[in-house]
């Protein structure tokens, strides 16, 4: 075991100590420079050198870091309005993380069903190969057995349908179903966007049965696909939406938001958090929205994402025996490989490129949304070297 792990519970296989970030680069404790195409797992959308973002946090620290949610603060009022307007939802609850956002979304769906019928069993349909977090509720709706089995018994009433197979969802609906939950773009499951037929079909099933459509946009939201939220591509709107990661661009904050019909099911005392949406976290959310608009982040993603996708397609054509598919949406992209995704990520790291894995055979790219084309070229050049070496 690494000496650095002496007092850490061994839940991660860490290998590098990063000490500094600048632009879209990271530096380790030896001074080595890395191009970051993982962005802290799709978190650091603005990179590491946005002075306006950092100054906004510093200013808030000088004013007020925390008071309890028994009181209003100016940042949380502003942040809730910005997220509601950006998502088309009516009401927002701020959390500390994406997993907590999922927990709140599940509770909200079940509370709505309970108010309609106190005998409701609160059934939830989730998707196979999904990933929603590691708390007990979130892992209960995560559609990969090895995440769930060591922690059973989990919350009951959860069944799993096949992603992008509407018939498999419809077969699972019963009178006790209260929600259908899915990622608009599956992340850990292999970077699979929802098909238009599938997501529109789920919207119709939820309307028909008066159940909540919950979209998890913790990873694929906040501009990653070129729109603020990926569901905007499909011309539909969820009843409940979860967000985190780039919502705070490194400050721990998440949220679940809902249309009024579902949001109104929550009463005082039904849910709570000590730190969620405190002034510092809420100020981070405000600055992210402000900078996204001022610096035209969505336009930049819309311009650079097809460029990166094209470069990855070029790699796939050059190494057809090693790369079998390129897929994703916006700047959440995956290379399906035959040579071991962990090995690719390891070799790229040795050459100064930070990448991610997804599932067992996908190399995931989720760079900061501000990354420039010439920086993308540098990352592709490293990948070209890695595949060439193999």
pLDDT tens sequence across 168-221: 999 999 999 999 999 999 999 999 999 999 999 999 999 999 999 999 999 999
Per-domain residue ranges of the chain: 3-50+296-389, 52-294
pLDDT confidence bin for 6, thresholds 50/70/90: confident
Taking the C-alpha atoms of residue 215 and residue 37, their distance in angstroms, rounded to an integer, is 25
Strand partners, 179: 124, 212
- The per-residue pLDDT for 383 is 98
Average pLDDT over residues 29-37: 97
Residue 2 predicted with pLDDT over 80: no
Query: Rounded mean pLDDT of 329-340?
Result: 97
Q: Above pLDDT 70, what percent of the chain?
A: 100
Confidence label for 1 from pLDDT (cuts 50, 70 and 90): low
The Cβ-side half-sphere exposure at 313, using a 13 Å CA radius, reads 8
For 80-104, the pLDDT digits (tens) are 999 999 999 999 999 999 999 999 9
> According to the model, what pLDDT value does residue 14 have?
87
pLDDT tens profile 134-176: 999 999 999 999 999 999 999 999 999 999 999 999 999 999 9
Q: With 80 as the cut, is the pLDDT of residue 328 above it?
A: yes
In this predicted structure, the answer to whether residue 352 has a pLDDT above a threshold of 70 is yes
What pLDDT score was predicted for residue 15?
87
Tokens encoding 297: 């982040």
Q: What is the mean pLDDT of the chain?
A: 97
Residue 116 has pLDDT above 80, yes or no: yes
Instruction: Dump pLDDT digits (tens) for 63-81.
Output: 999 999 999 999 999 999 9
Topology at the third CATH level for domain 3-50+296-389: 3.90.1150
Instruction: Kindly give, in sequence order, each residue whose CB lies less than 8 Å from that of residue 283, ignoring residues fewer than 6 positions away.
Output: 56, 57, 59, 60, 75, 79
Reported residue count of the chain is 390
Q: According to the CATH classification, is domain 52-294 in 3.10.620.30? A: no
Instruction: Show Cβ contacts of residue 54 under 8 Å, excluding neighbours closer than 6 positions.
Output: none
- Do 3-50+296-389 and 52-294 come out as alike in CATH topology? no
The reply to whether the predicted model has a pTM over 0.95 is yes
Q: What angle do CA 118, 119, 124 make, to 5 degrees?
A: 100
- State what percent of residues in the chain have pLDDT above 90: 96
Q: Under a CB-based contact definition with an 8 Å cutoff, are residues 186 and 129 in contact?
A: yes
Token digits of residue 200: 């529109």
């Amino acid at each position: 075991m690494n000496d650095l792990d002496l007092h850490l519970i061994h839940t991660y296989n860490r290998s590098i100590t990063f000490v500094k970030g600048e632009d879209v680069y990271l530096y380790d404790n030896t001074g080595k420079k890395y191009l970051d195409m993982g962005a802290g797992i799709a978190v650091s959308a603005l990179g590491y050198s946005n002075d306006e973002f950092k100054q906004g946090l510093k200013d808030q620290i000088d004013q007020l870091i925390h008071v309890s949610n028994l009181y209003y603060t100016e940042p949380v009022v502003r942040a809730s309005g910005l997220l509601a307007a950006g998502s088309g939802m009516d009401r927002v609850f701020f959390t500390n993380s994406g997993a907590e956002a999922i927990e709140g979304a599940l509770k909200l769906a079940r509370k709505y069903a309970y108010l309609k019928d106190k005998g409701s069993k609160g059934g939830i349909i989730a998707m196979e190969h999904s990933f929603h977090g590691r708390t007990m509720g979130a892992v209960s709706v995560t559609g990969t057995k090895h995440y769930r089995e060591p922690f059973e018994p989990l919350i009951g009433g959860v069944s799993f349908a096949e992603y992008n197979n509407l018939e498999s969802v419809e077969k699972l609906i019963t009178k006790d179903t209260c929600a259908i939950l899915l990622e608009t773009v599956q992340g850990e499951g292999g970077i699979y966007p929802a098909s238009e037929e599938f997501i529109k079909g789920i919207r119709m099933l939820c309307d028909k049965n008066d159940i909540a459509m919950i979209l998890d946009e913790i990873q694929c939201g906040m501009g990653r696909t070129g729109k603020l939220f990926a569901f905007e591509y499909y011309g539909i709107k969820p009843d409940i939406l979860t967000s985190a990661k780039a919502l705070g661009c490194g400050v721990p904050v998440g949220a679940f938001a809902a249309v009024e019909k579902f949001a109104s099911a929550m009463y005082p005392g039904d849910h709570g958090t000590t730190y969620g949406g405190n002034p510092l976290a809420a100020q981070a959310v405000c600055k992210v929205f402000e900078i996204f608009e001022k610096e035209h982040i969505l336009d930049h993603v819309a311009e650079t994402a097809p460029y990166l996708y094209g470069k990855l397609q070029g790699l796939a054509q050059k190494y057809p025996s090693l790369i079998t598919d390129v897929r994703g949406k916006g700047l959440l992209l995956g290379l399906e490989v035959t040579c071991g995704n962990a090995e690719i990520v390891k070799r790229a790291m040795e050459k100064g490129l930070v990448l991610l894995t997804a599932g067992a055979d996908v190399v995931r790219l989720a760079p900061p949304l501000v990354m420039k084309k010439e920086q993308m070229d540098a990352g592709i050049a490293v990948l070209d070297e890695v595949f060439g070496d193999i």
